[in-house]
Amino acid sequence: MLNNEDITKRIAELLLEAQAIKLSPDKPFQWSSGWLSPIYCDNRVALSYPDTRTFIKKTLAELIKREYPDVQAVVGVATGGIAQGALVADLLELPFAYVRPEPKKHGMGNQIEGRLEKGQPVIIIEDLISTGGSSLKVVDVLREAGIEVAGMVAIFTYGFEIAANNFKEKNVKLSTISNYNALIETALEHNYVTESQVESLSAWRVAPDSWGK
């Protein structure tokens, strides 16, 4: 049985092996928050590797069973949390639903897709937390619909203070199975990055909201 630190580093290693982590300081990535960043973590590619997605699925399911034994449904954040969320819900034999960033403009006009009951405690699954903006919007939508949000689990967090503050403000407990520090430590150990690349990332981490602008 791996301990928590081993798990965060094992998942970081799997993401690195899948080439999910990209560095591009000269041509920054734009994040969903609008921030510019020299790094991008594309957890979606993990789905293309059965062993990796299974390890992630089992780790998330174990975490949910341990910390949220009473949840009655799993809810994915669209789109990154849909596939992994459905895999976890299947393993836990729980209902699954997902929440769109906005209501669908045709058809049923739904923002919550799937069936959830009022008052039902649910766990939200997100693939990645930067500012927490996308997933906390889902919390608002669920609460407005009368659903009880027991907490949120995510594969990866950058560990920014702004995200911690945003989760605190909404009174949502977040648990993650990997993070930026574990990623950098693992990337250095396995020579995916150099000390000088990590040093230039430190400058970005001091002020990620204004970096590159």
Ligand X SMILES: O=P(O)(O)OC[C@H]1O[C@H](OP(=O)(O)OP(=O)(O)O)[C@H](O)[C@@H]1O
Ligand Y SMILES: O=C(O)c1cc(=O)[nH]c(=O)[nH]1
Among 28, 33, 181, 197, binds ligand X (CB under 6 A): 33
Out of ligand X, ligand Y, none, which partner does residue 13 contact, by CB within 5 to 8 A per kind? Answer: none
Binding flag, residue 77, ligand Y (CB under 6 A):
no
Binding flag, residue 130, ligand X (CB under 6 A):
yes
* CB of 148 closer than 8 Å to CB of 161: no
Neighbours of 41 (CB within 10 A): 24
Binding flag, residue 176, ligand X (CB under 6 A):
no
H-assigned helices in the chain? 4-17, 50-67, 82-92, 133-144, 161-169, 180-189, 195-206
End-to-end CA distance of the chain: 44
Nearer to ligand Y, 55 or 160 (CB): 160
For 19, residues 6+ apart whose C-beta sits below 8 A from its C-beta are 45
Bridge partners, residue 113, by sequence: 98
190 marked as part of a ligand binding site: no
Among 121, 133, 159, 212, binds ligand X (CB under 6 A): 133
130 marked as part of a ligand binding site: yes
Q: Which of the ranges 33-41, 57-65, 114-122, 171-179 carries the binding residues for ligand Y, by CB under 6 A?
A: 33-41
Among 76, 132, 151, 208, binds ligand X (CB under 6 A): 132
Q: What does the buried/exposed string (b/e) look like for 115-140 if buried means 16 or more CB atoms within 10 Å of the residue's CB?
A: ebeeebebbbbbbbbbbbebbbebbe
Binding-site ranges for ligand X (CB under 6 A):
32-33, 77-80, 126-134
Binding-site ranges for ligand Y (CB under 6 A):
31-33, 40-42, 128, 130
